[in-house]
Structure 1
Amino acid sequence: MGTFIQLVVDGLSTGSIYAALALAIVLVNQSTGLINFAQGGLAVLSAYIAYVFVQWNVPLIVAILIAVGISFVIGGIIERLLIRRFEGGDPDTAVVVTIGLLTLVTGICAFIWGYNNRQFPSLFPLGGINILGATVSLRSLGTFLSIVVIMLLLQALFLGTKLGLALRAVSINPRSSALSGLPVGRLLMVGWGLAAALGAIAGSLVAPQLTLTPGMMDTALVYALAAVIIGGLNSPIGAVVAAWAIGVLENLAAVYVPFIGYDLKIAVPFILIFVILILRPQGLFGRKVVVRV
């Protein structure tokens, strides 16, 4: 029983890493209607920006806030100068552009800071506590609680604020939104800026656990995309719950399913995607989209 609880706790901790990135992907999709494959690279860039300020003896929390602000500006600039040129066209083209942007941002990080692992300080203290026979690190617990707070704030943004409703309207139908008087261009910039800022928070939460490298988010991005598909592209809660489920089921399958083991546990999220897409294509928490033709 103690082993089972430890596997669940470790799975929730790992799932929180996936959830941090999944929330940023959901935010971009809710704001612009796109799936941003560059989100992992932008999160890494933001973490490096915070790291630079920490090296200048700026307090960690201040460094992260500065990185969040800079990332917001970078996200808005990327939307205005790059993504906007492809908006209104084939969505697949814009997705390919975000993949190219991921490669570019990762290359820039590697060129400036190199590929050496760097230790990023944690917002949360070292040490752990014992819960039902399982050891829970304070760092993992802090990351878990931070993800819960961010998830609830995003859900409140999209469902309970005028800005959130405007962002959703623009992502669904930009032309009708413009005719209704909404500043579509400005809202798209805000959406990308918010997603980049959220990526900065995600990078700062994840970097202490993974160590800071240009490819830090590559594997997490795959799992985050799986969580978004399973949970629902339009549901922050769904993305987080799915990310936690992936982390837990991976750990359990690696130990209790002999033919999977640790070598094949990466197949778990893809099996879940296959099952969910057959039973509920919009995701566990997603909404069906009705298109008038």
Structure 2
Amino acid sequence: MVAFLQNIIAGLETGSLYALAALGLVLIFRTSGVINFAQGEMAMFSSFIALTLFQHNMPYPVAFIGAILFAVALGYIVERVFIRPASKANLVSKMIITLGLIMIFSGLATAIFGTDSYFFRKAITADNLNAGGVIIQPNALFIIAITLLIMGILFYIIKKTMVGIAIRATAQNEKTAKLMGISVSKIYSMSWIIATVLGAIAGVLIAPTTNISTAMMMDVHLKSFIAAVLGGFGSFIGPVFGGFSIGVFDNLVGYYISLKWKTVIVYGLLILILIFKPTGLFGKSYRKKV
């Protein structure tokens, strides 16, 4: 039972980060109809900004906030420079653009920061807690708490504020949203900014586990995509459920079955979901805006 609970806590820690990244993917998809395959590389680049600030003797909060501010600017620039000019392009063309962004950010990061892997400290470095034999890292509790807080604030904004109403209206029907006086272009920019910030937060928080490198977000991004598919791209709550589920399932499979097979089993789960429940557990049939 101790080992089971230990893996549950570890799964919730990583799962919360998958949920953050997955929520960003879904937010962009719901508002602009684009799946941002480059979100992992954008988060990686933001993490390098945090590392750079940290290496210049900045305290952790300053490095964390610096990465978020950079992510705000990055999300805005990507949407305005790369995505908005292709607003009339078909879905495949937009997907190719985001795939091209993977190469751009990966190449830039390699040219600027190199290919080495860098250590990044945890947010909380206090001693571990022992609860009935279950070892709990304070940093794990911090990650779970901060991600739940961020998601709670975001859900409140989406459900209870005028900005949230505008986001939901744009996600439901772009033309109707325009007729209601909503600036759809601003909503697009805001969605990309929020999604990039969510990815950056996930990147900085997981950096102590993966170390910061150009490949640090590869596994995180893929599993956040699986989380979004599991929960459903048509729901905002779906990717949160999917993220926590993938995190816990991944750890349990690795411990009780095999570390070698856990990736195969997780991706096998994705295939089964796509076969039997293409819209995800919380998703609804998605109709493309015309």
TM above 0.5: yes
CA offsets 1:250-270 (integer angstroms, 9 cap, x no match): 23233434xxx2211112222
- Distance in 1, matches of 2:242 and 2:187, equals 28
- What amino acid is aligned across from residue 260 of structure 2 in structure 1? D
- What amino acid is aligned across from residue 18 of structure 2 in structure 1? Y
> Once superposed, which parts of structure 1, at least 4 consecutive aligned residues long, lie more than 4 Å away?
290-293
Identical columns (%): 33
- Distance in 2, matches of 1:248 and 1:50, equals 28
Report the CA distance between 1:165 and its aligned residue. Answer: 2.0
- Distance in 1, matches of 2:68 and 2:28, equals 16
Length, aligned pairs only: 290
> 1:211 maps to which residue?
211
- What amino acid is aligned across from residue 283 of structure 1 in structure 2? G
Change (3 A) 1:285 1:152: farther
Report the CA distance between 1:242 and its aligned residue. Answer: 1.6
- What amino acid is aligned across from residue 143 of structure 2 in structure 1? T
> 2:265 maps to which residue?
268
CA offsets 1:28-71 (integer angstroms, 9 cap, x no match): 22332221111111111111112222222232212322321222
**What is the alpha-carbon root mean square deviation over aligned residues?**
2.2
Task: Say which SS state the counterpart of residue 246 (structure 2) adopts.
Answer: helix
- Distance in 2, matches of 1:33 and 1:159, equals 20
> 1:177 maps to which residue?
177
Moved more, 124-133 or 146-155: 124-133
Change (3 A) 1:235 1:134: farther
Change (3 A) 1:292 1:7: closer
Report the CA distance between 1:18 and its aligned residue. Answer: 2.0
Report the CA distance between 1:195 and its aligned residue. Answer: 1.5
> 1:286 maps to which residue?
283
> 1:57 maps to which residue?
57
- Distance in 1, matches of 2:127 and 2:7, equals 18
- Unpaired segments ≥5 residues, structure 2: none
Q: Within 5 Å, which residues of 2 pair with 1:195-206? A: 195-206=195-206
Kept after mapping to 1: 8 A contact 2:18/2:227: yes
Is 2:163 the counterpart of 1:163? yes
Kept after mapping to 2: 8 A contact 1:238/1:284: yes
Change (3 A) 1:272 1:14: same
- Distance in 1, matches of 2:289 and 2:125, equals 53
Kept after mapping to 1: 8 A contact 2:173/2:289: no
> 1:18 maps to which residue?
18
